[in-house]
């Protein structure tokens, strides 16, 4: 019987279990460089079969939050190498998430220039900047002539990721960031080949995925989507049709996995999308994410509706989450006040089962 502790082969690597550490922004990378503290953080969580890092910007243009890492410069590659070496030495595998924030940013991060987006539509809400919360601005719509440079940024970042020792990359097309902004009609009002129909709105994600697969090999590529997530002021008039199409077209490119955020990060319940349809339209591995515990994770794997299960907040508070699941041990509570920014408190100081 398949469960969370059953190994699985992902591309050319074998994962020791099916527990995935979900990508989570922690804002502890000053100057966009991974730090020794980050090395310890990821090493501690190497009980996971697969670690997916926090989002790493693919270019300076892609930045949207303070103290978040990048994966485009040689200095960033050198810093990430220490992280990937530590995780590999601890027996786990690690993918980096490729991130472009698009309109979910602020001119403060871009020398006063506007953030870019699918369309010049201002999202409701506020940006986290070095000077505190500031209202989002109306972004600048990308010109068609700029699209090839965006695709190139993803391709280059993927190549840099392999140079840094990552086992693969996850293309972030979820949670209201740039690729998601192109996908959903609530943020895409374009009238060219990248807007209007579902096929057109999916075009950039397909082209980015193709470029990344061509660069590093499809077996090293995953994609994250979030069909019902309203976070960052996102919406779509027909998400079931959209994401069924996304899954089908991505499947044709044969990436390693599709990582699906099955809930809305706003806390609202949205049952407008049948995730099983999405899973059935994708021939690769399906990673389920969204409020899973051990029992629900095992039930999902046993039923075949997912191949792996990703855990977020439980991994923040429980570096040894897999061991705790194996022993049915109690879980530490997460300190939400230390989620974003700070030092080792709430980051690398959570107690382990074998701490004493």
The count of other CB atoms within 10 Å of the CB of residue 219 is 18
Q: What angle do CA 56, 62, 67 make, to 5 degrees?
A: 55
d(CA 306, CA 309): 7
Q: Give the separation between CA 281 and CA 285, rounded to whole angstroms.
A: 11
In the residue annotation, 177 being an active-site residue is answered as yes
d(CA 248, CA 251): 5
Beta bridge partners of 117: 141
Q: How far apart (Å, rounded) are the C-alpha atoms in residues 318 and 121?
A: 39
Radius of gyration from C-alpha coordinates of the chain? 19
Helices 36-44 and 74-89 meet at what angle, rounded to 10? 30
C-alpha distances in angstroms, 4 versus 90, 95, 292, 296, 322? Answer: 19, 19, 12, 10, 9
Question: CB-side exposure of 223: number of CA atoms within 13 Å?
Answer: 30
- 160/352 Cα distance (integer angstroms): 33
- CA angle at residue 177 from 173 to 178, to 5 degrees? 80
- Residue of 42, 154, 177, 347 marked catalytic: 177
CA distance 250 to 318: 33
Q: Which residues are within 8 A (CB) of 65 and not within 5 positions of it... i.e. 6 or more apart?
A: 25, 27, 101, 128
Helix axes 147-163, 74-89, angle to 10 degrees: 50
Active site residues: 177
């Amino acid at each position: 019987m398949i469960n969370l502790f059953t190994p699985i082969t992902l591309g050319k690597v074998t994962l020791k279990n099916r527990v995935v550490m979900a990508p989570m922004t922690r804002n502890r990378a000053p100057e966009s460089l991974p730090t020794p503290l980050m090395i310890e953080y990821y090493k501690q969580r190497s009980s996971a079969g697969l670690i997916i890092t926090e989002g790493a910007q693919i270019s300076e243009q892609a930045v949207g939050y303070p103290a978040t890492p990048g994966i485009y410069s040689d200095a960033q590659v050198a810093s990430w190498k220490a992280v990937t070496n530590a995780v590999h030495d601890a027996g786990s595998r690690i993918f980096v998430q490729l991130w472009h924030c698009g309109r979910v940013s602020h001119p403060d991060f871009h020398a006063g220039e506007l953030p870019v987006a699918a369309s010049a539509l201002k999202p409701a809400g506020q940006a986290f900047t070095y000077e505190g919360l500031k209202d989002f601005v109306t972004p600048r719509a990308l010109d068609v002539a700029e699209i090839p440079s965006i695709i190139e940024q993803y391709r280059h970042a993927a190549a840099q990721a392999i140079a840094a020792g990552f086992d693969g990359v996850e293309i972030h097309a979820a949670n209201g960031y740039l690729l998601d902004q192109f996908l959903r009609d609530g943020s895409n009002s374009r009238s060219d080949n990248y807007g209007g129909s579902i096929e057109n709105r999916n075009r950039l994600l397909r082209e980015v995925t193709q470029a990344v697969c061509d660069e590093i090999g499809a077996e090293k590529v995953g994609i994250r989507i979030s069909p019902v997530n309203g976070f960052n002021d996102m919406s779509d008039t027909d998400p079931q049709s959209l994401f069924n199409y996304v899954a089908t077209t991505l499947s044709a490119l044969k990436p390693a996995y599709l990582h699906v955020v099955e809930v809305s990060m706003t806390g609202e319940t949205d049952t407008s999308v049948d995730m099983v349809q999405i899973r059935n339209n994708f021939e690769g591995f399906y990673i389920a994410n969204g409020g899973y515990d051990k029992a629900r994770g095992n039930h999902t794997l046993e039923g075949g509706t997912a191949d792996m299960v990703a855990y977020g907040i439980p991994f923040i508070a429980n570096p040894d989450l897999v061991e705790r699941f194996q022993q049915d041990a109690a879980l530490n509570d997460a300190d939400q006040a230390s989620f974003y920014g700070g030092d080792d408190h709430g980051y690398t100081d959570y107690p382990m089962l074998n701490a004493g």
